[in-house]
Structure 1
Amino acid sequence: MKVLNLQCSHQHDFEGWFASEDDFHQQLERGRLSCPLCGDAQVRKMLSAPRLNLGRTSEEPVARAGIDEGLVELGRTAPGSELQGRLLRAVRELMSQTEDVGERFADQARAMHHGELAQRNIRGRTTPEVAMELIEEGIDVMPLPALPALKETLQ
């Protein structure tokens, strides 16, 4: 199993697991790879540090294991990756606690605002113009990006 650090053209970092280097290239050529955050199919392999199992314990200093500290630095998580992960977890949490009303979002939000429907947490789709109308009417809405990764579980 080969684990590769990948990045899309929008600088979203993610991991990909492949049977081999050839498997990665075949999937890339067939267009089967895309960013789990934005869906971009322009994916490239990034530098990554290999994990070396030298039999040392986690308490041993890096230098004692004979590994160059610069190499270890490359293997650390980039700040942007951590932020991406937090954002994805937060949006997934929000989605798990709301009901998807789809294209009926504006109608449902208005009906709840006017007391015609019981209050509940909803999400759905509408145009930016209708979202602005809802805000002008005093209805609290929060536009969220449509992230492809939220449709399915990431491995």
Structure 2
Amino acid sequence: MIRYALRCAGGHAFESWFQSADAFDGLAAKGMLSCATCGSTDVSKSLMAPKVGSRQDASETPLEAKIAAFRRKVESEATYVGGRFATEARALHEAAQAEDRRADKAIYGEANAREVRSLLEDGVPIAPLPFMPKAKTN
């Protein structure tokens, strides 16, 4: 496993783990990497120094623990819809507008930048998650 410091075209900095350098290159070439802040798929590696840690570094930080707890909550209470996220989110939004009880369903999945932009423009309430679904992790 390798961790890269990444930066999107919009200047947002973030980190992610990859199985290998080739895994990063393959995902980047297919446009499967995106900025959690703005959704840009124009993502590149940025300069980072290697981390030399101690045994103390092996434990989770408070932020990592909160993200892990949030992930468990989302995965236990919401339905994973994968690449159908944009279609499902739009259908739930339309059901909510019609005051249909089925709109109370919570979902999560993936959407590309164009789909996200369209959902936001149409007033569909969505938000990025601070983690990748297990089906998409390297």
TM-score by length of 2: 0.51
- Mapped to 1, the partners of 2:58 and 2:88 lie a distance apart of 42
Q: Give 1:76 shift.
A: 8.6
Letter of the structure 2 residue corresponding to residue 107 of structure 1: T
Residue 46 of structure 1 aligns with an amino acid whose one-letter code is G
Instruction: Tell me whether 1:85 sits opposite 2:70 in the alignment.
Output: no
Match of 1:144 in 2: 129
Give 2:128's aligned amino acid: P
Instruction: Classify 1:105/1:9 alpha carbon distance in 2 versus 1 (closer, same or farther; 3 Å).
Output: closer
Which amino acid counterpart does residue 85 of structure 2 have in structure 1? Answer: F
Instruction: Give the Cα separation in 1 of the matches to 2:107 and 2:128.
Output: 12
Residue in 2 aligned with 1:39?
17
Equivalent residue in structure 1 for 2:113, among 128, 132, 147? 128
Query: Would you say 1:108 and 2:115 are equivalent positions?
Result: no
Gapped regions of structure 2 (runs ≥ 5)? 6-14, 21-49
Contact 2:82–2:109 (CA<8 Å) still a contact in 1?
yes
| Runs of 4+ that moved beyond 4 A | 8-11, 41-45, 75-78
2:126 alignment partner AA: V
Structure 2 counterpart of 1:84, one-letter code: E
3-state SS of paired residue (1:114): helix
- Unaligned residue ranges in structure 1 (runs of 5+): 1-7, 12-36, 49-74
The amino acid that maps onto 1:97 is: E
Say if 1:93 and 1:139 are closer, same or farther in 2 by CA, change over 3 A: same
How many residues align? The count is: 92
Deviates most, 117-126 or 96-105: 117-126
The answer on whether the counterparts of 1:106 and 1:130 sit within 8 Å (CA) in structure 2 is: yes
Q: SS where residue 17 of structure 2 aligns?
A: coil
Larger radius of gyration: 1
Identity of aligned residues (%): 23
Indicate conservation of the 8 Å contact 1:39/1:147, yes or no: no
Root-mean-square deviation (CA), in Å? 3.5
